């Protein structure tokens, strides 16, 4: 298939500009420290680097060469900044911007030595991509989702393209930079570069989207104060547990826990101290549950615990352990040690086809109120 290089170039440039505008649109309204802005700026500099190829013969050669390599180095430096910001890392050190100086210096110094020029500039790019890959592969960072794999694949492919370019220059197969698009094979390498930048941009946008989806899910299902499941999430857990216990004829127990005289704690030490007590109690309760047990904050100072495959005796033993643990672990608030106790209502045993999640909660709740009425810091079932 004959390759019309000027048309190909025009399409590439248009695509690259649209890509930058698309990311700007995504970042619009976000704080300037948002990783998407850094990525959009990186795409902007990529567009400038690309534009230089089209201006060959229009602007003086050294100007084109210098602007191209500065923009190229800027693209990778800004993408590194974007990836670091995504992971909440501080900006890269000043030395990461060094290729912005080294590259034009190489371009000018080695203007007559194609091999040296290409070697030093492309090795700088390789170094910059290595720094990006290092962040993406850092085992100390919390990675999740598929967007990161797209980015890893894209940067590895880009690294490969760069290495091919260096090899081609060293083998004398092609000029490093002199109206590069006049050569069909070099034009193909540029297409490969554009495709990887496009793939990386999709990957990065996907990473951002996955994270915001995760955050929305947490907001919808987590209680922000204690970090436990919220009422909706723990109710879903209970509905599933009831259905499974009915289907498989298994035991299921439910505990309803309520902090005693919590209003007094708020009134004596303030609302913030009350929040700290709630967090402390939540932590104590959670730390004493088995992996299969689930806990959620059901109301203000009320918690619901779902114990699959647990009969009344097991539930009462656990309830006593929880009660004793809360009683013996006061919360430190400044100079004060605030003691709290809990009352617990238990509903445990077999679940019949007539039982419902609401019914189990109602029974545990009624037992909990009996515990309150008969002196608090107790368990009823
Ligand atoms: N600090 C804080 N207080 C809360 C929160 N949610 C509910 N409360 C308070 O919890 C208190 C609950 O008071 P009551 O329902 O009278 O219960 P109590 O004082 O624990 O009394 P008993 O349950 O009968 O032992 C109220 O003062 C609520 O304002 C919260 O998220 N943070």
CATH number at 60 reads 1.20.1070
Q: Provide the pLDDT confidence category of residue 2 given band limits of 50, 70 and 90.
A: low
- Which residue is closest in CA terms to ligand 1's atom 32? 275
Specify the number of domains making up the chain: 2
Q: Provide the pLDDT confidence category of residue 97 given band limits of 50, 70 and 90.
A: confident
- Which residue is closest in CA terms to ligand 1's atom 1? 274
Query: 59 and 193, same structural domain?
Result: yes
Q: What percent of the chain has pLDDT over 90?
A: 53
Ligand 1 closest atom vs CA 267 = 27
pLDDT for 176: 47
pTM of the complete model: 0.71
Does the pLDDT of residue 186 top 70, yes or no? no
Question: What is the spatial distance between Cα 185 and Cα 264, in angstroms, rounded to a whole number?
Answer: 79
Name the residue range of residue 120's domain.
5-220
- In this predicted model, what pLDDT tens digit does every residue of 271-282 receive, in sequence order? 999 999 999 999
Question: 271, 301, 323, 371: which to mutate for ligand 1, most atoms within 8 A of CB?
Answer: 301
Catalytic annotation, pick one of 112, 210, 213, 301: 301
Does the pLDDT of residue 175 top 60, yes or no? no
Annotation says 301 is catalytic: yes
Query: 54 and 151, same structural domain?
Result: yes
Within 6 Å (CB) of ligand 1, which residues are found?
225, 258-263, 266, 271, 274-275, 278, 300-301, 372, 376
Q: Provide the pLDDT confidence category of residue 179 given band limits of 50, 70 and 90.
A: very low
- Which residue is closest in CA terms to ligand 1's atom 26? 263
Query: 215 and 278, same structural domain?
Result: no
Q: What is the three-class DSSP state of 77?
A: helix
Compute, in angstroms, the gap from residue 225 CA to the centroid of ligand 1. 14
Query: 199 and 130, same structural domain?
Result: yes
pLDDT for 1: 61
Asked whether residue 226 is assigned to any structural domain, the reply reads no
Where residue 333 sits, what CATH number does that domain have? 3.30.70.270
- In this predicted model, what pLDDT tens digit does every residue of 246-258 receive, in sequence order? 888 889 999 999 9
C-beta pairs of 204-207 under 8 Å, 24+ apart in sequence: 204/35, 204/36, 204/39, 204/82, 204/83, 204/86, 204/147, 204/151, 205/23, 205/26, 205/36, 205/147, 206/145, 206/146, 206/147, 206/150, 207/86, 207/145, 207/147, 207/148, 207/151
Last residue of a domain, one of 156, 191, 220: 220
Q: Provide the pLDDT confidence category of residue 37 given band limits of 50, 70 and 90.
A: very high
- In this predicted model, what pLDDT tens digit does every residue of 139-173 receive, in sequence order? 999 888 889 999 999 999 989 888 887 787 777 76
Question: 272, 279, 300: which to mutate for ligand 1, most atoms within 8 A of CB?
Answer: 300
pLDDT for 104: 79
């Amino acid at each position: 298939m004959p390759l019309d290089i000027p048309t190909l170039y025009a399409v590439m440039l248009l695509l690259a500009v649209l890509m930058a505008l698309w990311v700007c649109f995504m970042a619009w309204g976000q704080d300037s420290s948002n990783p998407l802005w850094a990525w959009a700026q990186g795409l902007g500099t990529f567009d400038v680097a690309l534009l230089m190829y089209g201006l060959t013969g229009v602007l003086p050669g050294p100007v084109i060469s210098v602007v191209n390599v500065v923009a190229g180095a800027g693209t990778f430096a800004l993408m590194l900044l974007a990836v670091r910001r995504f992971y909440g890392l501080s900006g890269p050190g000043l030395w990461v911007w060094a290729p912005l100086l080294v590259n034009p210096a190489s371009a000018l110094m080695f203007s007559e030595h194609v091999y040296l020029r290409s070697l030093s500039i492309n090795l700088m790019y390789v170094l910059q991509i290595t720094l990006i890959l290092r962040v993406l592969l850092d085992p100390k960072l919390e990675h999740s989702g598929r967007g990161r794999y797209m980015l890893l694949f894209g940067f590895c492919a880009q690294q490969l393209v760069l290495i091919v370019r260096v090899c081609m220059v060293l083998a004398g197969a092609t000029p490093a930079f002199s109206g590069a698009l006049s050569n069909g094979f070099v034009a193909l390498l540029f297409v490969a570069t554009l495709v990887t930048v496009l793939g990386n941009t999709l990957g990065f946008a996907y990473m951002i989207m996955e994270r915001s989806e995760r955050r929305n899910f947490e907001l919808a299902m987590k209680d922000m104060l204690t970090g436990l499941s919220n009422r909706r999430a723990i109710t879903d857990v209970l509905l599933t547990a009831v259905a499974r216990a009915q289907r498989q004829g298994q035991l299921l127990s439910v505990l309803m826990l309520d902090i005693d005289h919590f209003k007094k704690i708020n009134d004596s030490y303030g609302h913030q101290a009350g929040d700290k007590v709630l967090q402390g109690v939540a932590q104590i309760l959670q730390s004493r549950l088995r992996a299969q047990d689930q806990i959620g904050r059901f109301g203000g100072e009320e918690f619901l615990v779902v114990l699959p495959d647990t009969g009344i005796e097991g539930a009462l033993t656990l309830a006593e352990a929880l009660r004793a643990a809360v009683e013996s672990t006061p919360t430190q608030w400044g100079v004060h040690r605030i003691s709290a106790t809990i009352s617990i209502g238990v509903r445990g045993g077999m679940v019949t086809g007539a039982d419902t999640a609401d019914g189990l909660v109602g029974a545990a709740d009624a037992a909990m109120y009996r515990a309150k009425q008969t002196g608090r810091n107790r368990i009823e079932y």
